[in-house]
Amino acid sequence: MNKSLLLILTFILNTLMVIGQVERAQGKIIPDFGQTFEVENPEIKTDTNTLLKVIFDVSKSAENNTQINSYLVTAARFLNMHANAGMNLDQLNVAITVHGSAWKDMLNDEVYMEKYGSENPNSELLNQLNAAGVDIIMCGQTAAYRDVSKSDCNTSVKFALSAMTALIQYQNNGYRFIKF
């Protein structure tokens, strides 16, 4: 295949890919995080008259300490996509348990700076999730193992005896479990 034809085909394919890309919608609840896509005419309709109670379990962190934890962004995306679909914040009860390597994402900026040389890239997300009523729950066992105190963490973070305890208690209160 000659170079001219290859260049033309590459241009056409790139143009088609750009045309086919859908623009993400900014969230109504967490505008700075968790952009979503509109899904036109889904066969499974969203029941906008119900109460959704979900608890996300986050045990992983970004590999790069200067990057936001995409698993935490999932909670923002959940809130935003349902608000964009017509649900109100009072219909969306969200909690997040944090353990495993995600413990570091709960640190306040000062402690994070001491440990990793930068401010915590998750701080603003944690603050916005908290402002939206999301319970952000640190596993007390992970915190004790890592020698992390409440004063080391973002003020949005609540401590539980363990992530397991919080998961059971929230599920006993009607929350549905989603693992990331």
pLDDT digits (tens, 9 = 90+) for 31-55: 999 999 999 999 999 999 999 999 9
In the chain, the percentage of residues whose pLDDT exceeds 70 is 87
| Prediction pTM value | 0.85
pLDDT average, residue stretch 86-105: 98
Beta-sheet pairing, 176-179 with 135-139? unpaired
Cα gap 160→23, rounded to integer Å: 39
Q: Domain containing 135: what range?
A: 25-179
In the chain, the percentage of residues whose pLDDT exceeds 90 is 82
pLDDT of residue 17: 47
Count of structural domains within the chain: 1
Q: Domain of 133: which CATH number? A: 3.40.1260.10
